[in-house]
Structure 1
């Protein structure tokens, strides 16, 4: 959910919490000159490389690259989110957040009410357009959608006009800046004006669990080179990762019933048309933990019914992991002879859909089927690779009985003995271990605990690159801002650089859609992209620019540092020469000047 902390309050919390005082509660610090030094808590080291500056109120580790202010330290060290961190630090210095929030909350409430009204009037405008447009209404009727479904979901139509909605909303007395903040209009590249985001599209209003219109999705009627679907960008009242299409219907009709999670608007509507009131769709993104929490509030068991193509299977696999993380044991409805639930139920009817649903695969059965499709079990190499993948899933099963059942099944499938598979399982390394200490006393009490092997922690700059790519994927407006400050060549991590190159190129040609973008990548980059897109970072709208600047700065600093190291090596090479030509001397001077300029740039960024 959006945070209710304004910049002034955040600054006050940060300023009143001296970074040395805070960090010394978790790390033993020793004064060295004007700074403090200690053993870095973010990676294993014997020689202290973790520095804290009381003057700048920042920390930086020269070993792993982690850095930031007092807020980011607590977030990273205690694995806390932004809001909880601010609450903790405010409490530490006796700042009464609730009192300070009162005025801010009233302003925010009034602002949000205005934005909700803009969306509500926009939905009415789209609805009236549909009722009065023969082409759009004919398309809807051909899809088997009657008036009752149109009303239930508030379906509408965006005219082909470039500024129809904009003029309508201006006439209603709304301001351009507020309309633009909702992503309903887009500023022209030459900044000469604005135009409607949605044009000549069937409109699907996205309504939250409180019955308010928070955003829109639009589907083209005729192929015209535009993306098939277009969604509202995130706004002060809309975050895709916190909402689900159809959640208002699920809340109204299907509380406590089985929930069917699908991918598209038309999947939800077609199931509703046949009497299934308990389906919802994620909004053009991979399923998020917050969406799962929303489902758990209203539903019982969860069924995944995604597209039957390769991209749909990958999306199902990702969604299963998120659901499992939230302790939801979902089942997978496997569709045959149809590409998606919309086509399936219209082609075969409700009875066949329920029959298919009754044969849905549990988590482990789906994984076995998925990995069997990836590997040829008729050859030794295929069986070995299959077992290496599937044992990672077996490791997650807590029940000894359940694990033994699947060991039997896998043994029969692969013709490999259970004992051999158990041995493979036994030596599977433990991964993703995080040592969470709440305070220094707890750290001391846990000295003698045996710790699993800790995988290498990501350096700060790779985390920054990953988060930048994630945010660019989430919002084209962020891409427009970021591309002016950082290019694909500025990315240091080779895989991230390649993805950035394709992503920048992709955005210049069409709207970003994860499923279609994934198809333009090489196979070896798809896993990296999935990892990026499953990143979960929640940023208050008011803090977005600051956070982006921090990520960009981190990447730029690392690139400059790398360049500085390379230039110093070149200086050594020239310095070690027995005899130097005039050209070598000039190169030496040139490199020295470059190093001076790099130091100036680094100071500007620090």
Structure 2
């Protein structure tokens, strides 16, 4: 569906970017902008800036940026039309009824067709489980002590024996083989043609936060390998960016999430009343999933399997939670392997007690670390204490480090002062290293990677300055035209900016709409309009700074013109001579503010 610029601007004007982003990110007013922790990368100090005046966002940490439409595109994995529709609905703006015509329905995006195919597949698996051919699946779930209400809530199903039963069903519903394959529901080869991905498996539909089916997990019935098959990444599903059970857990009032490894663990906990349980999707816990959790709660209790692989996975997850700024605790399930097994044997109340007694993740880590040392040998015991001291050195805040030293000394039954001295000793081993020199080298390499930085920075500063203070435009345009910007993107931005200011209706965010499906260009535009400006106190300083920037831009424009001149081109030569004369005049002139 095509949207007119006027409609886009009406939708934008009725969806203030601070209000929209504030639903997903905690923002605080800092000066003229709002700041928060970036939802697109791990950070502990806020570098994510949202400008109400420009209706733009920009992260000074990872560089992403854009407008209210691009935020929803990136955050919720939407297409531009989907973001427009969501914001239009939010503002109560009716979109064109032409989208409901038969022709428009036929031209729906592949993404929407994939959503529809997944929904139809979920219904197919659901009814197969409850039909005559689904007895094997039904017996499996009943053996896991799941109630019919729980099975209904999670939409559990069964993929029957046979290689093309779902494919035939979806074909009858009008779905093409291409859509089935794109959705991860089918595959194609020369021997079998288009055939089902899942068969003879109990099925676990995976829902997004809007309760749409985006993928499936399937557990085999019998001894076939692999035990679990999960939907591969598709246009609507990314395993790293979703969590099983999140569509329910986000509405929990527990004030925490319980993170576990498997579908059945989540389902067993929800059935027992712990509706805050979620799980990763056939992969190790990821930084993207940590950021997803962070939208809803600051605390996570890790409930991983108590075997060797489960402990290793838990240690990795602890580090990811730390980097995301989330508080973590570790649940002790021994002597049982997983939450499902624990609840079946001990019951809900015992599990609740274990949750209350969940272990601080630091103490969990050093307890597991102790297994690597021979604590019956004095040398091994000393080595363990030194390893613990090194971990204590990782706490940056002195008060937090002191608290952990005291608590750790009590846990290990050693004198506090002895542990404190050991921490000081271990910390001193790192003094005198050449890290600063390495940082300088990195910075030098960065400059080598950006040879145009010295050319582009004054141009960014000027464009940001005009966006912040449109009144200086009438002065700037006397000296600088869009053609003076040496980069193609900067020229395009300047051209649109000049046109908008001349018409008296410029908004920086409108330029983002020139690149609805290009995240890289959107981020570059947001960077152009979010350059840090040095605070200027007096009128004289401001006039001098403006003069210097204008002169630098004109000088670089002149250098570019000179480098592109063709020998024998008399008109070009005259242009260069005139430009040089004007540049010399500008160097000795003064720019005055009105």
TM-score by length of structure 1 reads 0.53
**1: CA distance, partners of 2:381 / 2:344:** 39
Matches within 5 A, 1:530-545: none
Report how far residue 387 of structure 1 moved: 3.8
Who is 1:80 aligned against? 62
Who is 2:129 aligned against? 130
Who is 1:313 aligned against? 311
Who is 2:42 aligned against? none
Who is 1:569 aligned against? none
Report how far residue 431 of structure 1 moved: 10
* 2:298–2:327 Cα contact (<8 Å) kept: no
Who is 1:404 aligned against? 402
Q: Residue 157 of structure 1: SS of its match in structure 2?
A: strand
* 2:180–2:186 Cα contact (<8 Å) kept: yes
How many residues end up aligned between the 2 structures?
353
Report how far residue 352 of structure 1 moved: 0.8
Who is 1:173 aligned against? 174
Q: Residue 298 of structure 1: SS of its match in structure 2?
A: coil
Who is 2:140 aligned against? 139
Q: Residue 206 of structure 2: SS of its match in structure 1?
A: strand
Cα pair distance change 1:101/1:346, threshold 3 Å:
closer
Cα pair distance change 1:427/1:414, threshold 3 Å:
farther
* 1:432–1:455 Cα contact (<8 Å) kept: no
**2: CA distance, partners of 1:325 / 1:285:** 19
Cα pair distance change 1:428/1:131, threshold 3 Å:
farther
Report how far residue 127 of structure 1 moved: 0.2
Cα pair distance change 1:202/1:542, threshold 3 Å:
farther
* 1:307–1:339 Cα contact (<8 Å) kept: yes
Who is 1:348 aligned against? 346
**2: CA distance, partners of 1:101 / 1:244:** 24
Higher RCO (CA-CA < 8 Å; seq separation 6+): 2
Cα pair distance change 1:163/1:101, threshold 3 Å:
closer
Cα pair distance change 1:266/1:432, threshold 3 Å:
farther
Please identify runs of 4+ aligned residues in structure 1 that moved more than 6 A: 102-109, 429-433
Q: Residue 161 of structure 2: SS of its match in structure 1?
A: coil
Cα pair distance change 1:282/1:392, threshold 3 Å:
farther
Q: Residue 250 of structure 2: SS of its match in structure 1?
A: helix
**1: CA distance, partners of 2:139 / 2:80:** 51
* 1:330–1:363 Cα contact (<8 Å) kept: yes
Corresponding position: 1:118 with 2:100: no
* 2:182–2:235 Cα contact (<8 Å) kept: yes
Q: Residue 365 of structure 2: SS of its match in structure 1?
A: helix
* 2:207–2:214 Cα contact (<8 Å) kept: yes
**2: CA distance, partners of 1:397 / 1:366:** 16
* 2:154–2:204 Cα contact (<8 Å) kept: yes
Matches within 5 A, 1:149-164: 149-164=150-165
Report how far residue 399 of structure 1 moved: 3.9
Who is 2:13 aligned against? none
* Residue deviations 1:350-373 (CA, integer Å, cap 9, x gap): 111111111111121111111112
* Residue deviations 1:455-498 (CA, integer Å, cap 9, x gap): 998xx9xxxxxxxxxxxxxxxxxxxxxxxxxxxxxxxxxxxxxx
Q: Residue 327 of structure 1: SS of its match in structure 2?
A: coil
Who is 1:204 aligned against? 204
Report how far residue 405 of structure 1 moved: 3.9
Return the index of the structure with the highest Cα Rg: 2
* Residue deviations 1:279-306 (CA, integer Å, cap 9, x gap): 0001111212221222222235211100
Who is 2:268 aligned against? 270
Report how far residue 414 of structure 1 moved: 8.2
User: Structure 2: which 5+ runs fail to align?
Assistant: 1-59, 71-78, 86-103, 446-516, 520-594
Report how far residue 177 of structure 1 moved: 1.1
Report how far residue 420 of structure 1 moved: 2.4
Matches within 5 A, 1:9-158: 80=62, 84=65, 110-132=109-131, 133-158=134-159
Cα pair distance change 1:374/1:275, threshold 3 Å:
same
Q: What is the aligned-residue RMSD (CA, Å)?
A: 3.5
Corresponding position: 1:304 with 2:302: yes
Q: Residue 325 of structure 2: SS of its match in structure 1?
A: coil
TM-score by length of structure 2 reads 0.54
